[in-house]
Amino acid sequence: MTGTISDEIGHLYNLKNIFMDKNYLTGSIPLTLFNISSLEMLYMNDNKLEGPLLRQVGNLTMLTWFDLSNNYLAGIIPHEVGNLQELKDLPLSYNEFSGSIPIGIFNISSLVTIGLTENHISGNLPSTIGNGLPDVEKIFLGGNNINGVFYLDLSTCQMRA
């Protein structure tokens, strides 16, 4: 599939899953897409999408899987991403995001993976990064300009074979 994503996609109000990964999609993510409050899975990775991630992303509160990695998305990651309390996986790596990581991401208790590798993110990590992420298994932050120290409470860690 090539070209841009039509605004008409926002009229599919009962849609649960969108898989548009690994295409040659260009342009920005239409604002109307964020009207589909029933979305549970949204894969738009490995395209050539550009522009900002709009704050209306916070309307997609049913999302469990959300992959926008490997695009040209830029600007800040909106703090409304913290509204996505059902998310398990948040891969936003290999884009052009800048600014700091919204603190709300570290309060999405369902997250297992956070991927922010190779963006232009800066700022400090909160010292309490692990407190709101009981199920997190992987955090990818390489290739940014992030500062901070991880503190682990070893009494709550579990060993896996």
Q: What is the CATH number of the domain that holds 17?
A: 3.80.10.10
Domain interval for residue 39: 1-78+95-99
- Structure tokens given for 92: 């936003």
Q: Is position 5 within any domain?
A: yes
Q: Within this chain, do residues 72 and 121 fall inside the same structural domain, yes or no?
A: no
Pairwise CA distance, residues 61 & 47, whole Å: 24
Question: The whole model's pTM is what?
Answer: 0.88
Q: Within this chain, do residues 122 and 61 fall inside the same structural domain, yes or no?
A: no
User: Is there a contact between 117 and 95 (Cβ–Cβ < 8 Å)?
Assistant: no
Pairwise CA distance, residues 120 & 21, whole Å: 23
Number of domains in the chain: 2
Pairwise CA distance, residues 77 & 122, whole Å: 12
Q: Within this chain, do residues 67 and 7 fall inside the same structural domain, yes or no?
A: yes
pLDDT tens, 38-95? 999 999 999 999 999 999 999 999 999 999 999 999 999 999 999 999 999 999 999 9
Pairwise CA distance, residues 78 & 61, whole Å: 14
